[in-house]
Structure 1
Amino acid sequence: MFKSFSSRKIFRVIVVTIVFGFLIFWNPNNFFDFFRGIIFRVAYPFQKVLFISSDGTKQLGVFLVSIGDLKTENAKLSDENLRLAAENAMLRDMKKENDLLREQNSLFLRDRFEMQMAQVIGRDVHGVGNWIMIDKGKNDGIAEGMPVVVSGKNLIGYIKSTYAGTSQVMLLSNPESSINAQAGSNEAKGIVKGEHGLGLILDDVLQTDRLNIGDEVTTSGIGGEMPRGLLIGKIKDVYASPDHLFQQATVSQLISPVDLRFVSVIKSGK
């Protein structure tokens, strides 16, 4: 019985509260202004917290969406940068190759000799600069002993072996290489030989001949194996031979065979 009475009492309180709340909300003739003010003052802090929370949630959502957009945009920009970098690298390589081809085609030696341009397709696997392989051979009229030049009249070696479509070029730095040469304005005669780890040595120069640091060393044409006047390098140092009968000189090449991509073979005179 007590439980039934309590339930009815609670029900009445709820009904009265609802009716009272409705009257405050409706506020006929502004009769409940006083109560509305109290309720609004009490509820204001909670409204403020809810408003700030909802606004913060909205801003957080916008921020997260913007982060996603930035990531997508950055990924697109990264892909575009990679594509442009690859295209630029390709263009630079094409320009370099065109420059090299133009340089080889403009050799003044073409007025004196029949030339065959070739591309380097292989190198000394031991990396000591003994030889290179080119993509021209017997089918292109290439024969053993033909000089190989780059960038004008710079001699780098000569044909050592030929095959149907390729040839092996013995570089001047090869220890087996030996070229008749001359140096300086007085054309001091000697032999340029390859030396392991030392580059080129001008040997067998008479003690009476004058050698100067910086003198150009060129082919002498003696023996007919090489045309006269092909540039081999410049004298870097001068000293006496071990037996003191001759002079020797270290020769520095102006062109490094290591980075060559194209060369020209001198096939014959015109």
Structure 2
Amino acid sequence: MRATRLLPLAVLLAIFLFSSFIIPKFFRFSPKADQQINELYLENQSLKSRLTASLPEFRGDFKLAKVYSSYPFNDKNEIAINLGSADGIKESWLVVLGSDIVLGEVKKVFERYSLVRTIFDPEWRLAVRIGENKINALLEGGVEPSLTTIDKNKVIKEGDFIYAVAKGFPYGALIGKVQNISSSPSSIFQEASLALPYNFNNEIVEVKILTGYGL
């Protein structure tokens, strides 16, 4: 009788040990694998955006750069990267994630490092279009970047892709997706917040500096 009662406890203990120690040891993704999975996700989002807007696949040349940590601070307006003038980096070059997801542009270049202004800078402004109907909007930077000056008579919906159409940017470079849409009865425009395809909070460890691109 006692052996029968102990059997479930033994089974539970075995399950606990297996899930707590064996699975994490043999099946946990390495940081490199996590980065590769994230890269594939970003590439997938870029491709889906271009297919939706009937745009050709993006092709560009780039340099990989590591992002210096600002932990425990989280100033999203600006990041520092480990490439500078000695590596051929120039001001105003675009900084992306994945193949063409806009993060910012090179603001200031030093010999061994550079500063990048991101779309979270309150002064950031960029002409964009929304979805397959190519509806015009203005991306305004900030802690929570937003879309403004969207024609109230145009229909947009949550989940629509947002992409860059400003001169000096790769046409169709992905920004994110429409999230929350709002409008005021007294305004001729509607606005929307963004859902970005990445988590900025000290989790971006590598970016791409576009040195040339074509469609």
- Per the TM superposition, whether the score is higher than 0.5 is yes
Q: Does 1:248 align with 2:191?
A: yes
- Name the SS for the 1:208 alignment partner: coil
Deviation at 1:139, TM superposition (A): 2.1
Measured against aligned partners, the alpha-carbon deviations of 1:49-89 in whole angstroms (never above 9, x if no partner) come to: xxxxxxxxxxxxxxxxxxxxxxxxxxxxxxxxxxxxxx99x
1:158 aligns with 2:105: yes
Q: Structure 1 length normalisation: TM-score?
A: 0.56
**Residues 110, 265 of structure 1: alpha-carbon distance in 2 compared, 3 angstrom cutoff:** farther
Task: Name 1:265's counterpart in structure 2.
Answer: 209
Paired with 2:58 and 2:157, the residues of 1 have a C-alpha distance of 31
Q: Percent identity?
A: 21
Q: Shift of the alpha carbon at 1:216? A: 0.5
Q: Is 1:120 paired with 2:67?
A: yes
After superposition, give the CA deviation of every residue in 1:243-264 in whole Å (9 maximum; x if it has no partner). Answer: 6132211011111222011110
**2:147 is equivalent to residue 209 of structure 1:** no
Answer yes or no: is 1:186 the counterpart of 2:151: no
1:191 Cα deviation from its structure 2 partner: 1.4
SS of the equivalent of 1:195 reads: coil
Alpha-carbon spacing, 1:154–1:131, altered in 2? closer, same or farther (3 Å): same
Within the candidate set 73, 87, 92, 2:30 is matched to 92
Work out the CA distance in 1 between the residues paired with 2:109 and 2:185: 37
Instruction: Flag the 1:124–1:148 CA change in 2: closer, same or farther, 3 A.
Output: farther
1:126-145 mapped onto 2 (5 Å cutoff) = 126-145=73-92
- Which is bigger in relative contact order (C-alpha 8 A, separation at least 6)? 2
Cα distance change on mapping 1:93 and 1:237 into 2, 3 Å: closer
* Deviation for aligned residue 1:207: 2.1
Distance 2:94 2:73 in 1: 23
CA distance in 2, matches of 1:124, 1:241: 39
CA distance in 2, matches of 1:234, 1:212: 9
CA distance 1:143–1:241, shift in 2 (3 Å) = farther
Change beyond 3 A, Cα 1:250–1:116? same
Displacement after TM superposition at 1:162 (Å): 1.3
Do the aligned partners of residues 251 and 94 (structure 1) sit closer, same or farther apart at CA in structure 2, a change above 3 Å counting? Answer: closer
Q: Is the 1:180–1:191 Cα contact (8 Å) retained in structure 2?
A: yes
Matched pairs, number: 176
Give matches, 1:15-164, under 5 Å. Answer: 92-93=30-31, 95-96=33-34, 99=36, 112-123=59-70, 126-164=73-111
Unpaired runs of 5+ in structure 1?
1-86
TM-superposition CA deviations, 1:89-145 (whole Å, max 9, x none): xx9345556x37986xx9999972221110111338742421211111222222222
SS in 2 for 1:139: helix
Larger Rg: 1
1:175-226 Cα distance to aligned partner (Å, 9 max, x none):
1211211101111111111223xx1101122223222111000111x3x221
Structure with bigger strand share is: 2
